[in-house]
Structure formats: structure tokens, C-alpha cells
Amino acid sequence: MKIQINHIGKMEGHSDFIAEILRGDVRSAKLMTTEGARLIEGILIGRRYIEAPIITARICGICPVVHKISSIKAIENAFAIKPSLQAVKLRKLLLSAQIIHSHALHLFFLSLPDFFDITNDLKFVKEHQKETHCAIAVREWALKIIKVIGGRAVHPIACEVGGFKVLPDKDELKNLVNQYENILRNALCLINLVIKIKLPKFRRPTTYMALSGKDEYGYYSGELKILNADGSIKIIKAENFTKNIKEIEEPYRAAKSAKLDGKPFMVGALARININHGQLNHLAKGILKGWKWKFPQCNPFYNIWAQAVEIVHFVEESKKLLDDLAKNLKEETSQGEKLKLISDANPRGRDTFGADAVEAPRGTLYHAYGINKDGLIKECQIITPTVSFLKNLEEDIAAYIPELSRLSDEKRSRKIRALIRAYDPCISCATH
């Protein structure tokens, strides 16, 4: 028997799903990406390093901020330059806002309607007007943060290697602070909708990975913490990412996939919550406590609950950063300007290599560049969260299909699509 789902909608990018089942055994479950390959890593070879953050942002229209920041950090590592503390705070604020707006979109518009058995968002929006208003308000606040700091919401402009080309307006930061109470209320309203949905009782223990910070819920920097299915923990340095995580090429799809020490693994909101839940901000922590989860939470559908609690966490995080910056923002020159990096050459005067990882909405994102002495890129590797969790998603579907054997084809297809969407895959990112 074959299960085939063509053109899975309501997610970033294009893909089909095919499973082969022989006498009740799932022989294979494959997510076939149908997105055209853009060969981003290839086209960057020979280009000037300053183009990398701008071009790699175009990998994804929903998470351009993380590609930009990850790319900038990797290049800064190659050049051994450190941005100012203020620049780091601004980047963290951009990242927080990025996670909020991506989650709010995915959760509310792409994934939640599945659990209300609605395939068309416009219908879902009509039936949940209050919550639609909340989701849009939260998104708009986060998009505004990116616009104020980055100059534009989709494909922000102001951040560069070394810091920021221009700094945000203090009054605009203050305006954003003033909206906090209202935005928090809207975020909590979304939580109330999310906890009403009944998720399938499916669980499959697996390996989780996320950035882990010393004294914060990891997202901008830190070490990679790996939580294995047997409860053991392994820590690796972000720059050693590719020593442990290997990309796999398969002839049947343009997107690559990856394994961690030879095994499928999960990244994203659920992985972060499983690993770093003790470091959540106050309100988010309280909400999670109320759910009485046993960690690790091994039901992948709960990824959307994890996203909901992360929305609250990052709204709180943004408030902290906004308060600080609205008060203390100082005029400063970007390291990029100071080192006269505009002249294009590698400031270390020789060939260097730099890598870095940040937490994207969908999980750990890795960028690495080799840059020659003239400032031209000679090596580039980008491993996106969807590439990382693709194998794990396929294994989850394979384990889930037998539980759906009594359903009609139509209902089974919907359940599979709901699981795929709960992962929040970004096929554009995966097929970069």
C-alpha cells in the first residue's frame, strides 16, 4: 500500500509526502521536497563576504533575521572581531522578535486550524475573530521591533558584520515598551486557545538538541546541549557542529537531511523547552509548570504548545531588552566601520574560517564560512533546522501511521499533514 499526499499546503515551501506500507509495516516514509534548488552555498563562492548576510537572508522570507545574524556571527568569528555589548543586545532583540512573529504565524495560521478540523484559514479566522486579533497584534508588535531596529520587517537591513550601520530611534523603542502590557495580554489569549485543543496521544522518545546559555534560555549564543533518549547529556561547542552533525544527500530530494552521531534528532521549540525549560522567563515558566509535563515531552505534536509558551517567554525577553535599550542606547560606531571593513579585505590578512550557531524559530541554525585574505568567500556551509529534523520527522510519521490504520484515507491524510505541520518545517530553508 502507498500513502501519497501531494502539495502539502500551509507551510513554508513546497513538498509532497510518500509512504510505502507492506502488510502493515511502514517500509518508508519520505517527505519529498519539490522546491527548486537555489544553490546559495554555491553562489556565494567567490563573492565578497559583505554579501553573505544579505544573500543568505534571502534563503527564507519568514526567518531572514536568523540567517542574517548567524551569517554575521560566523564571519565575525572568522575575523576574530567582537561586536559591542549594545550590538549584541540589539541582535538578541531582533532574534526574540523573529521567534515571536514566526511562531505566532505558524501556530495560529498554519498549524492550529488542523486541530479544529479546518483546512482553510480564512474560515478559521472567521470563527476565531478575537484570537485572530490577538495573533495579529502580537505579530505586528514583533514585526515593528524588527522594523525599528533592522529598518525593514522582511529582509532587515541595518545589521552588518561588526554591528549596526544605523541605530534605532530611542522614542520608537519607548513606544514599543509602552505596548508591552497589551501584547502580553494578547499572547496569553493565544495560550488559552492553544490549551483548548486536544492533541493526539502519540509519543516517541528521541534525541533533542538546542543551544544552551550559561545564564539565559539559549538562543543567541552558548554551547550545544544534546539530550539523548536514555536521558544522557552531551555538550558540544557550536563551532564543532559539523564534527557531530553530518549532512546527508539523497538522490530523491533537493533538500538535504542530517544525523547527529548517526541518529535522527529533533530541534526547535520542543527541543529547547525539553532542554532549557528551567531558564524560561517568569510568566512562561509558570504557564509550563501548570501543564505538569514530565520531561522530556516526547509527543512531537506538543511542539506547538512549546511554541506558544516560547511566545510568552520571548515577549518577556523583548521587554527586558527594550527597557534596557530605550534607557541606555548610546551612539556608537559599528566595529565594521571602525575596522574599515568596507574595504572588503580580511582584517586578519590571511585565509580564515569561522562558524556559528543560533536558535532559529525552528531550531538550531548553523552557518560557516572560509574567507580568503582578500575578503572573498571560498567555503560556505549552512545547515538549517528543517534539514536537521527531517529524518526525525520521517521516523515520527512512520511510527504514527500504524496508529491511523482504522481511519479513512482522507482522515489519515489530514492527520499526517497535521503532524508534519506541527514540526513547522521550512522547505525553503531546507532547499537553500
Partner 1 sequence: MIKKKKVKKPTIAIIGLTSCEGCQFVMLDQGKKFLELLGRFEVQEFRLIEDEPMLEEKYDLCLIEGNPVTKDNIKLLKAMRERSKLLVVVGNCAALGGVWEIKNYQLRQKTIKYVYKIKMKVANPDIKEVDNFVHVDYVIPGCPITGNEFLEIIYQLLRGRRPRIAQSPVCNECRTNGYECLLQKGEICLGPITLGGCHAVCLKSKQACWGCRGLFEGAQIENLMSYLLDNFTRGEIYRVMEIFGARDSILRQLEKTKKSK
Choice from 21, 54, 88, 229 touching partner 1 (CB under 8 A): 54
* Residue 301 CB, nearest approach to partner 1 (Å): 17
* Residue 293 CB, nearest approach to partner 1 (Å): 29
Beta bridge pairs of residue 212 = 223
* Residue 9 CB, nearest approach to partner 1 (Å): 4
Contacts of 262 (CB under 8 A, 6+ apart): 246
Read out DSSP for 277-320? GGG--HHHHHHHHHHTPPSS---GGGHHHHHHHHHHHHHHHHHH
Long-range contacts of 32-38 (CB under 8 A, 24+ apart): 32/252, 32/253, 33/253, 33/254, 33/255, 33/427, 33/430, 33/431, 34/7, 35/254, 35/255, 35/427, 35/428, 35/430, 35/431, 36/254, 36/431, 37/254, 37/431, 38/431, 38/432
Choice from 18, 20, 21, 34 touching partner 1 (CB under 8 A): 34
Between 36 and 231, CB nearer to partner 1: 36
* Residue 252 CB, nearest approach to partner 1 (Å): 8
C-alpha cell of 326?
Answer: 530605550
DSSP one-letter code for 350: S
Between 54 and 329, CB nearer to partner 1: 54
Encode burial over 343-358: b for 16+ CB neighbours within 10 A, e otherwise: eebbbeeeebebbbbb
| Residues 61-90 close enough to bind partner 1 by CB under 8 A | 61-62, 64
The reply to whether 148 sits near partner 1 by the rule CB under 8 A is no
* Residue 342 CB, nearest approach to partner 1 (Å): 8
Sign of the torsion formed by the C-alpha atoms of 325, 143, 158 and 242: positive
| Residues 369-428 close enough to bind partner 1 by CB under 8 A | 417, 428
Tell me, by CB under 8 A, how many residues bind partner 1: 58
The reply to whether 8 sits near partner 1 by the rule CB under 8 A is yes
Between 61 and 286, CB nearer to partner 1: 61
The reply to whether 361 sits near partner 1 by the rule CB under 8 A is no
Choice from 122, 292, 294, 331 touching partner 1 (CB under 8 A): 122
Residue holding cell 534548488?
37
Residue holding cell 502590557?
181
Say if residues 41 and 432 touch (Cβ distance below 8 Å).
yes
Choice from 104, 105, 267, 304 touching partner 1 (CB under 8 A): 105
| Residues 211-250 close enough to bind partner 1 by CB under 8 A | 249
* Residue 394 CB, nearest approach to partner 1 (Å): 19
Between 207 and 346, CB nearer to partner 1: 346
The reply to whether 336 sits near partner 1 by the rule CB under 8 A is no
| Residues 158-187 close enough to bind partner 1 by CB under 8 A | 158, 165-166
Taking each helix axis from N to C terminus, what angle separates 303-328 and 180-194, rounded to the nearest 10 degrees?
170
Element (H, E) at 131: helix 129-150
Residue 33, SS3 per DSSP: strand
**Closest C-alpha to 114, from 56, 200, 227, 239:** 200
Between 40 and 283, CB nearer to partner 1: 40
Mask for 257-296, x = binds partner 1 (CB under 8 A): ----------------------------------------
Residue type, 372: N
- What's the CA angle centered on 328, arms 325 and 331, to 5 degrees? 95
Candidates 8-16, 177-185, 273-281, 357-365: pick the segment binding partner 1 (CB under 8 A).
Answer: 8-16
**Site residues for partner 1 per CB under 8 A:** 7-10, 12-14, 34-43, 45-48, 51, 54-55, 58-62, 64, 105, 109-110, 119-122, 125, 136, 139-140, 143, 150-155, 157-158, 165-166, 249, 251, 254, 342, 417, 428
